[in-house]
Structure 1
Amino acid sequence: MTRAKQNKKASTITLDNVLSLIIFIVGIILIVAGIFKVYNLVGEARESRSAETLLDKILTKAKSVEVGEETEVTLQGFKHDTELLLVAFNKDQAKAPEKCFFNNCLCICGGLSLTSPEEIEKLCQEGVCKQSDTKISINSKKVIQIPLPYAGTPLGGYQSNELKIELNAIDIPQTLFKLKIKKPKENEVVIYR
């Protein structure tokens, strides 16, 4: 064989090897991305089912409380990636998630991206809600502090500003937690910590 034929054959083999390697790497990346996507979807579905189960337990306990009585219930939180809040919406409220219009609702909503009290219904639209015949009130204050950029002071220094949002909401932890449920009158329940 001449030297030119050997070099041409060697470059063809190298080009074939490089193309095979690139196709292999792209294939591995696609497989890993697919596995990651499926894992995230399974996690989200599990979190949603856990939230529904927790809401069912709270509403079942609330139905069993007699007028004028109060009870304490211990509940198991569940694994979640973001801060979750227990929020109530009543049918007479002007602002509520679409799934709660004309109904009383108890919802578990994400609270980390909250920047104003008016945004809670948007966050709950993406959360899990259960409807109830009973008017539900949350009587626990949740203060969310949002750091704002540093602002200059008259003396040239800097001070930190925070936006504080106060809501009637309860944190949903990942561990055991207790709620108190009281029924002041027929078809009305108050939930607090």
Structure 2
Amino acid sequence: MDAHIPILKRAGMVLVVLGACDLLAIRSGLFLLGAAAGVGLLLGSLQVAALVRWAAAFGLCALAVMMLAWPLMQPVDLTLAQLKLQPRILPSLITSATWMVLLHWLYRTLGAPAVLAAGHKPRDMGLAAASGAALSLLLCVMLLLLLHGEAADHARLAAERKFGPDYRYHVAALKVSASDKGKLVEGLVTAWNGKEIRTIPVAWQEDANGGR
């Protein structure tokens, strides 16, 4: 009857350890919330187990969509140049992959037959997965629209005027702030070639009529 307890404690211990490591690194993030959920699992809470499994399904699908969409967010040549010239991006990729492994493990572990049999009516994991994927996809589409509009074209041209045709240019970030004087646009443009990668800040003010 208590076959689910060791499973919950195993998952809870993993979350508590990760939360403790996060605390020692002087951070505040999802791992700390995960540690609180881990305590609930250590106490054998099936409600917490269902909530954590729902969150794992949501996060796993959201992260999967993000990773699949990432190659579309910037030119392939820039990605290859970053892997060659800026190997520090590798830890970010490894971290994302580790997150996916952890979320998948939690989903499978807390969905074990013994846990499901001990609980009440199971939550709809399809809804969690669809919600995570939809939110991630929406954010990706919004970002693509922002980085490929008129403001992005202006940012790219501004960077090219500074550094010339020896680089290729990609708008990595844009921020638009409205004020009484009009609109302030700030951005970061990545310039790269076979030898180096540069990050170029750009900014300009637009009046209420769209003039710069």
Q: Same fold (TM over 0.5)?
A: no
State which structure, 1 or 2, has the greater radius of gyration over its C-alpha atoms.
1
Q: Which has the higher strand share?
A: 1
Structure scoring higher RCO (CA < 8 A, sep ≥ 6) equals: 1
